[in-house]
Amino acid sequence: MLLDALHCRNKKRPPIWLMRQAGRYLPEYRALREGRTLLDMFHDPKTIVEVTKLPLDILQVDAAILFSDILTVFDGLGIRYDFQEGVGPVVQDSPDRIEMQDPHVAYVNVIEAIEQLKEELEVPLLGFAGAPFTVASYLIEGGSSRDLKKTKQWLFRDPEGFTKLLDQITVATIEYLNCQVRAGVDAIQLFDSWANALSIYEFRTYCLEPMRKIMKAVDHPTLLFCRGSSLFAPELAKLQPAAISVDWSGDLLAIRDQIPRSIALQGNLDPMLLYASKEKIAEGADRLLFGMKDDPGFIFNLGHGLLPDIPVENVKFLVDHVRRS
Ligand code: CP3
């Protein structure tokens, strides 16, 4: 069903999966996480397989997304990183420490997990990577930053140096994604989560161009997500991806009119609506379901990831509601 929708030929109800469907809002995830570091979990094939499958059993979603992180590409760039409790991602090395690694060694755990998942799953498996601009921003800022000041200072002051860094990340990302594709993922999603920090002019140069290079070198159905995709959707459409994953700001129906019918649209419920009553959740979901009714290229999703304290009951309710539509 998801693959049909990705090819804009789905004749049934829209498929649904949710960004961050494998995460802390699930008590089962928190139990598996107890006493372990995230880095340890992302590097253990058995854990990757187990956590990837968790939301399938619990929610009955129509696709699995690999349990990994956009930072794992640093394994192929020789950059050390960690996730700190209450802080989030922390990158220990600076950009001048990049040392390209053999991808088959760097990503061996992910490759092994995908191979095993493909033997066990009954729904499509999505692989993913961060888009180079967003990955670069973690490398430059060292962790979380709200305005990406250092990244933007660099790109405005030294566009050539910044482009060189993006090129290095792009090469590693292509290798990482091709490892995932060869191991068997059915489609891939690129996350340019911080694209909304840029104006449309810089977006074209520093987000779109690296994504274009990746799509050229990785020949596989690709979904493109950015925070900012409701504004940048026509730009993203120029790359002719299989799908655009739309953030929660925009009106999906209006965006549909700006985008060729050959490109699927995924989105775009505001994840925070899942804190509201079931009645309100149904109302928000119905607005999307009615608006996109009979669209053969509609994939139901959120406009950004699930948050750790969203009630799991409400997430289950949403998925049931869409499955019954
Ligand atoms: O969607 C899924 O369920 C698949 C797994 C997945 C994770 N991260 C696991 C994870 C995916 C697709 C990501 C992508 C990711 N990671 C993005 C792009 C999507 C987005 O949200 O914009 C970004 C920017 C990151 C970077 C990252 N990783 C942050 C900012 C954090 C800390 C914030 C947070 O939510 O805790 C992480 C850690 C992380 N990656 C967790 C998970 C499940 C939290 C796990 C935990 O603390 O146990």
Predicted pLDDT of residue 239:
98
| Res 224 pLDDT > 90 | yes
53 lines ligand 1 (CB under 6 A): no
pLDDT at 323: 98
Which pairs count as long-range contacts for 95-104, CB under 8 Å and 24+ apart, including other chains?
95/136, 95/139, 95/140, 95/165, 98/168, 100/76, 100/168, 100/171, 100/172, 101/75, 101/76, 101/77, 103/76, 103/172, 103/175, 103/176, 103/178, 103/179, 104/179
Q: How far is the CA of 24 from the centre of ligand 1 (A)?
A: 10
Average pLDDT of the chain to the nearest whole number: 97
CA distance linking residue 39 with residue 23, whole number of Å: 14
55 lines ligand 1 (CB under 6 A): no
- The domain 2-323: what is its CATH number? 3.20.20.210
pLDDT digits (tens, 9 = 90+) for 185-219: 999 999 999 999 999 999 999 999 999 999 999 99
pLDDT confidence of residue 143? 79
pLDDT reported for residue 227:
97
Average pLDDT over residues 167-192: 98
What is the per-residue pLDDT for 85?
86
The answer to whether 320 is a known catalytic residue is no
pLDDT 10s digits, 84-95: 988 889 999 999
Active-site residue (options: 25, 29, 81, 138): 138
Q: Tell how far the Cα of 70 is from the centroid of ligand 1, in angstroms.
A: 7
**pLDDT bucket at 4, cuts 50 / 70 / 90:** very high
What is residue 87's predicted lDDT score, i.e. its pLDDT?
86
Q: What angle do CA 248, 298, 226 make, to 5 degrees?
A: 35
Domain ranges of the chain: 2-323
* Two structure tokens written together for 256: 């549909």
Name the band, by pLDDT with cuts 50, 70 and 90, for residue 273.
very high
pLDDT band at 80 (very low <50, low <70, confident <90, very high): very high
Residue 162 predicted with pLDDT over 90? yes
Could you give the C-alpha distances from 41 to 32, 163, 180, in angstroms and in order? 9, 32, 18
Q: Which of 25, 29, 69, 107 is catalytic?
A: 69
305 lines ligand 1 (CB under 6 A): yes
Which residue is catalytic, options 13, 20, 204, 212? 20
Tell me if 90 CB under 6 Å of ligand 1: no
- In short, whether 21's Cβ falls inside 6 Å of ligand 1 is yes
Rounded CA gap, 315 and 292, in Å? 21
102-113 tens-digit pLDDT = 999 999 999 999
- The average pLDDT across 226-248 equals 98
Q: Is the pLDDT of residue 74 over 80?
A: yes
Q: Is 33 one of the annotated active-site residues of the chain? A: yes
Interval 149-155 mean pLDDT: 97
pTM as predicted? 0.97
CA distance 275 to 259: 31
Please tell me the distance from the alpha carbon of residue 318 to that of residue 225, in angstroms, as a whole number. Answer: 21
